[in-house]
Structure 1
Amino acid sequence: MLKIIKSIMLVACCLLIVSGCSSREGKVVGGKVKSSSNRILGDYREFTGSASRDMEVKKGENWVFSFDETTRKGTVVAYVVDSNDKTILEFDNGKDEKILKVSKDDKYKVKVKTEEHGGKFLIEWKKSS
């Protein structure tokens, strides 16, 4: 019995590690919002809420962030904050790409916030050489 409990706990811990640190709050109607290690995306009739994903960055790295969205109604904003919750980058509509040079080792959070938004969005990021 103890072996079974240990096995279940090990599997649960592995799932937490593999899934990374992401969160979603709010209500999605007629679609979905999801994230992976380098993107957050949504496609729905309506979403009021937020989604986020953590990322580790190192001093001197360059990161490219791309944002694209289509809005039928409401608002959508995407942004990147540092560990002090200071906004580093912000995207508020349309299609855009920005490059971020990291000034110190840190843990950033990529966030998307919506208010009665109908449409879709995609924010992606990758390390640039």
Structure 2
Amino acid sequence: MGTTESTQIAYTNGIRFDHTFEIINLNDETAKKFDVLLGVDILPKLFIYLSGVAHRWDDDSAKERNQFKNNINYDTDNAYDPENTDNGTPEERAFLMKQIEGSLEANKQILIDAVCSIPKSGVNIPISNPNDC
């Protein structure tokens, strides 16, 4: 919907910084759960990092899979398997995978608790209709 003017944020332990908030219209279901959503652009400024959080008991892998079932960030059904897609020819897919192989390997080397420290690493995606999200 827009952004706020730059606002000074005061947090615990003397943390102070200026921040511009993005204003979004939360859908009804999300609005029931959250008053505010803090994104990856502000959390590092607050020195808040989320890593290594346990999310299941070791003997309950079915429950682990189910928690991600309706999360669009996880392909639990392997619906987007690049090896078995009908997009392009097998040769084109092999060529694509060869082109991105180095990037995929470099990505695997990133520590699981790593955080981007580049100040401008936040991404803003303008949307014309918040109901599309």
Normalising to structure 1: TM-score of the pair? Answer: 0.24
Higher relative contact order, structure no. (Cα contacts within 8 Å, ≥ 6 residues apart): 1
Identify the structure with the greater helix proportion. 2
Normalising to structure 2: TM-score of the pair? Answer: 0.24
Which is greater in Rg? 2
Identify the structure with the greater strand proportion. 1
